[in-house]
């Protein structure tokens, strides 16, 4: 068990490393040559331009103004200065709500910490149970924890009362926050400009028709069943091959640029390359010629493939984006069932065009169900049995394993340095690689499950990752042993024993989690702000590939909030805070520092750096809410288990009411707020429609929507959203006459 001195040492070390990251950041961000890395958001917005026009050549790259270095921490107040409405406008609602999760952590834990320090710390400290027990080693932290209270003491009533306060305070703050976020979302949706997804519904599982093409079938179905509201539709092409070709061509172009630049800088040597994989083997050829011809070949292939996709009816998948004349019409279609067979003509709100995950639009109903079953089973095994393949790979990577498989390497392996590396570091690295790959594995599983938008893929992966962390980090740290051993234990132990086992082990692990928070939380967040990987990538690309300002723009990777990875990690801190708020309150300040520091860092990042790939309007909030409540219930059950071992007879009935109330609170909040994140109310749609009809009576919606939902490869370089174009047709937004235009719009409609 770590003593208080160890904790202090660790805290100092981690604070120092965090400080080092911050200083490095403060220096690097002031250099003009790094400007694009640390202010990429502003470049994307076109507000900032590089290189700075004034000054000498050196000044373009290095900041020589000493005064700016003195104020090296001034990004912190700057990050906090932008008011929230402006932030939403600047970075989108997703980002603004995301950082509110950290704020929520502060709102919950600052008052709870004050209460716990005022009530529980004195109660625990004066318990003196540990001092009386002889032969026990304990630290100052343990003296402040519930372990220091003697069995059957009346002092436990203080803990029970605090547990009630924790529950009610958390629920109260969560309720208020849900209310605020819902209001923000509704305001955001209401104040939004016209967007294609407001008028559009994604229709999947269009049934095959022997006489009609998919496009005709969709057209006819919606003309008949939504006669007053149907406007147009866009079929979905299976352009996966084409997208691959485009991607390949882009990579070849990069190589071509690289070799051309190389040649320009050193015209004496003609650059060479090899034709094999990664240019490592194969015939040696002239690099510039090779890539020029390859790009020409690819261009031809691309043209052929493009024509094939556009003309082949088989390249059209049984899905379509159907647009309506009004938001009301789209809201109605998205929320209702179309056919008596609920597995065909499935409608849902279209994700915004950037958010569509094109590969999953054409999965039949039965296949979708089977995929979900398989992925559920696979995820179960991944969570509980991932250590088995890891251990197998680790055994392969042992000295004997490598000697057996690859006898060629024997002389190498028998060197002392390599040997100790393999024995000491490799197993840890293999586990670490798995943990780094894990979010990608989970994302791949979510993709197989068939979600149709990037935002839902992110949410789904986050759910999986949260469960994985819960089992393998939280429970795995408290009860030692691999997950499948725990599983066995949970099956073989009575349900009342599990909270006891975990609850009793819990106070002992407080010091471990304090260290964990400092390493993963404090130093990890400080590393985040330094953006080391994009920093290096930018400078590499900038040196070898960049020719024009547009190239430089593309070389910058602004990154984005990675919801599927970072949100489950925050949840771990919520869980730790809730669990230890009654048991070991000394943990709370560390969590509060984490939340405050993260809030500042991520607020800075979303203002200056990140560029979100999509905007879902905070659709993830119900998940965040549910997971915090899950953490709350876990904390209640563990405390119940812990107290039941302390010989206080009345604690169980008093404690059992808390999870019941919490679960009820969850159901209540779900009924009260969740639909705001799933459905779009008709009243709001009507208000927006009426307003638009009054302010823009001549809008041609059909032209506006024409290319909104085209697969990105067909858009080429123009990735801007289509703007409204007026043409000779009447304004189709105002449905004053019953549409007799169906046949007309049908003849107009085409691939």
Least distance (Å) between residue 317 CB and its own copies: 21
Q: How far apart are the first and last CA of the chain?
A: 70
CB nearer its own copies, residue 159 or residue 327: 327
3-state secondary structure of 721: coil
Identity of the residue, 384 or 673, whose beta carbon is nearer to its own copies in the bound complex? 673
CA distance 288 to 290: 5
Q: How far is the CB of 272 from its own copies (least distance, A)?
A: 57
CA 53/CA 39 separation, integer angstroms: 17
* Nearest CB to its own copies, comparing residues 437 and 660: 660
- Looking at the Cβ atoms of 603 and 666, the one nearer to its own copies is 666
Please tell me the distance from the alpha carbon of residue 388 to that of residue 391, in angstroms, as a whole number. 5
Return the number of the residue (53 or 736) whose C-beta is nearest its own copies. Answer: 736
Alpha carbon 730 to its chain centroid, in Å, reads 43
Closest contact distance (angstroms) between CB of 351 and its own copies is: 19
Which residue number, 17 or 335, has a Cβ lying nearer to its own copies? 335
- How buried is residue 746: exposed, middle or buried, by Cβ count under 10 Å (0-12/13-18/19+)? middle
From the CB of 497, what's the least distance to its own copies, in Å?
8
The Cα-based distances of 194 to 294, 631, 704, 729 in angstroms read 43, 39, 10, 20
Q: Toward its own copies, which CB reaches closer, 153 or 335?
A: 335
Closest contact distance (angstroms) between CB of 672 and its own copies is 6
Binding site for its own copies (CB under 8 A): 186, 221, 224-226, 228, 331-332, 335-340, 342-343, 345, 365-366, 369, 373, 377, 490-497, 660, 664, 667-668, 671-676, 679-684, 686, 735-738
What is the closest distance, in whole angstroms, from the C-beta atom of residue 500 to its own copies in the complex?
11
270 DSSP 8-state letter: P
Q: CA 150 to CA 159: how far, in whole Å?
A: 13
Find where tokens 């008596």 sit.
340
- Work out how close the CB of 650 gets to its own copies at its nearest, in angstroms, rounded to a whole number: 17
Report how far residue 74's alpha carbon sits from residue 82's, in angstroms, rounded to the nearest whole number: 14
Cα–Cα dist 35/549, whole Å: 14
Residues whose CB falls within 8 Å of the CB of residue 253, separated by 6 or more in sequence, listed in order = 291, 295
Count of CA atoms in the C-beta half-sphere (13 A) of 593: 18
**C-alpha to C-alpha distance for 441 and 436, rounded to whole angstroms:** 10
Decide whether 319 or 572 has the Cβ nearer to its own copies.
319
- Beta carbon of residue 458, minimum distance to its own copies (angstroms, whole number): 23
Residue at token pair 């919490």: 662
CB of 373 to its own copies, least distance (A): 5
Q: Which helix (H) or strand (E) holds 232?
A: strand 230-237
Nearest distance, CB of residue 338 and its own copies, angstroms = 5
Q: How big is the CA angle at 30 (ends 28 and 33), to the nearest 5 degrees?
A: 75
Q: Kindly tell me which of 634 and 676 has the beta carbon lying closer to its own copies.
A: 676
> Given the complex with its own copies, which of 275 and 369 has the nearer CB atom?
369
CB of 232 to its own copies, least distance (A): 19
The first and second tokens of residue 64, run together, are: 């020589």
How many degrees, rounded to 5, is the angle at CA 433 between CA 393 and CA 10? 120
Q: Are 42 and 608 in contact (CB under 8 A)?
A: yes
By C-beta, is 660 or 724 nearer to its own copies? 660
Query: Across the strands, what pairs with 347?
Result: 203
Which of 366, 694 has the CB closer to its own copies? 366
Residue with Cβ nearer its own copies (196 or 735): 735
Structure tokens at 496: 């009342």
Spatial distance between the Cα atoms of 518 and 589, rounded to a whole number of angstroms: 11
Residue of 592, 517, 582 whose CA lies nearest to 115: 582
DSSP letters for 105-119: HHHHHHHHHHHHHHH
Distance in Å, CB of 20 to its own copies, minimum: 48
Helices assigned H by DSSP within 325-453: 327-335, 365-385, 387-396, 399-405, 410-413, 416-424, 426-449
- CB closer to its own copies out of 611 and 692: 692
Residue 495 Cβ, how far from its own copies at the closest point, in Å?
6
Whether residue 51 is preceded by a cis peptide bond, meaning omega within 30 degrees of 0, is: yes
Return the number of the residue (107 or 229) whose C-beta is nearest its own copies.
229
To its own copies, the closest distance from the beta carbon of 648 in angstroms equals: 18
CB of 318 to its own copies, least distance (A): 17
What span, in angstroms and rounded, lies between the C-alpha atoms of 160 and 636?
10
Element (H, E) at 78: helix 75-81
CA angle in degrees (0–180, nearest 5) for 671-676-682: 110
Neighbours of 341 (CB within 10 A): 11
């Amino acid at each position: 068990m770590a003593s208080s001195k160890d904790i202090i040492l660790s805290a100092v070390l981690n604070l120092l490393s965090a400080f080092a990251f911050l200083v490095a950041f403060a220096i690097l961000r002031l250099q003009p040559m790094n400007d694009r890395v640390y202010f990429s958001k502003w470049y994307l917005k076109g507000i900032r331009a590089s290189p700075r026009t004034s000054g000498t050549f050196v000044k373009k790259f290095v900041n020589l103004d000493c005064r700016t270095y003195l104020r090296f921490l001034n990004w912190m107040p700057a990050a906090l200065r932008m008011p929230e409405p402006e932030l939403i406008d600047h970075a989108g609602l997703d980002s603004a709500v995301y950082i509110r999760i950290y704020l929520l952590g502060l709102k919950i834990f600052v008052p709870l910490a004050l209460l716990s320090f005022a009530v529980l710390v004195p109660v625990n400290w004066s318990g003196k149970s540990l001092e009386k027990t002889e032969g026990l080693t304990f630290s100052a932290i343990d003296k402040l924890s519930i372990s220091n209270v003697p069995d059957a003491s009346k002092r436990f009533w203080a803990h029970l009362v605090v547990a009630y306060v924790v529950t009610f305070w958390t629920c109260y703050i969560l309720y208020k926050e849900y209310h605020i976020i819902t209001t923000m979302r509704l305001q955001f949706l209401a104040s939004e400009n016209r967007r294609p997804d407001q008028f559009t519904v994604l229709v999947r599982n269009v049934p095959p028709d022997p006489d009609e093409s998919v496009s005709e079938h969709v057209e006819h179905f919606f003309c008949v069943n939504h006669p007053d509201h149907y406007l147009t539709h866009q079929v979905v092409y299976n352009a996966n091959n084409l997208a691959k070709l485009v991607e390949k061509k882009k990579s070849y172009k990069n190589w071509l640029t690289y070799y051309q630049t190389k040649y320009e800088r050193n015209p004496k040597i003609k650059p060479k390359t090899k034709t094999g994989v990664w240019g490592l083997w194969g015939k040696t050829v002239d690099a510039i010629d090779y890539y020029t011809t390859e790009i020409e070949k690819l261009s031809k292939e691309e043209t052929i493939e493009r024509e094939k996709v556009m003309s082949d009816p088989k390249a059209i998948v049984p899905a379509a984006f159907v647009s309506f004349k009004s938001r009301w019409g789209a809201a109605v279609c998205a929320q209702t069932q179309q056919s008596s067979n609920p597995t065909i003509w499935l409608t849902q709100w279209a994700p915004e065009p950037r958010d569509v995950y094109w590969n999953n639009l054409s999965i039949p109903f039965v296949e979708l169900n089977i995929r979900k079953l398989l992925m559920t089973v696979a995820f179960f095994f991944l969570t509980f049995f991932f250590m088995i393949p890891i251990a197998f790979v680790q055994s392969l990577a042992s000295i004997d394993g490598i000697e057996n498989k690859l006898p060629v390497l024997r002389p190498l392996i028998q060197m002392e340095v390599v040997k100790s590396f393999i024995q000491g570091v490799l197993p840890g690295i293999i586990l670490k690689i798995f943990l780094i790959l894990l979010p990608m594995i989970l994302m791949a599983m979510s993709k197989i499950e068939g979600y149709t938008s990037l935002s839902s893929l992110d949410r789904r992966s986050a759910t999986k990752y949260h469960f994985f962390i819960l089992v393998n980090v939280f429970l795995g740290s408290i009860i030692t042993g691999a997950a499948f051993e725990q599983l066995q234990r949970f099956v073989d132990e009575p349900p009342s024993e599990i909270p006891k086992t975990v609850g009793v082990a819990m106070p002992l692990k407080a010091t471990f989690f304090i260290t964990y928070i400092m390493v993963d939380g404090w130093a990890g967040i400080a590393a985040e702000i330094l953006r080391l990987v994009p920093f290096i990538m930018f400078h590499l690309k900038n040196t070898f590939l960049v020719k024009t300002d547009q190239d430089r723009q593309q070389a910058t990777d602004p990154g984005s909030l990675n919801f599927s990875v970072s949100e489950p990690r925050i949840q771990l801190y919520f869980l730790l805070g809730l669990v230890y708020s009654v048991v070991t309150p000394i943990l709370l300040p560390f969590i509060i520092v984490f939340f405050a520091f993260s809030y500042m860092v991520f607020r800075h990042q979303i203002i200056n750096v990140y560029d979100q790939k999509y905007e879902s309007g905070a659709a993830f909030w119900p998940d965040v809410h549910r997971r915090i409540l899950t953490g709350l219930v876990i904390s209640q059950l563990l405390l119940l288990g812990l107290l039941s071992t302390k010989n206080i007879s009345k604690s169980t009935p008093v404690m059992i009411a808390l999870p019941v109330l919490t679960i009820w609170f969850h159901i209540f909040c779900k009924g009260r707020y969740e639909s705001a994140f799933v459905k779009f109310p008709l009243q709001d749609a009507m208000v927006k429609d009426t307003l638009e009809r009054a302010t823009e009576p001549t809008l041609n919606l059909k032209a506006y929507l024409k290319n909104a939902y085209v697969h990105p490869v067909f858009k080429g370089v123009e990735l801007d959203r289509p703007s409204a174009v007026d043409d000779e047709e009447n304004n189709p937004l105002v449905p004053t006459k019953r549409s007799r235009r169906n046949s007309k719009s049908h003849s107009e409609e085409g691939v």
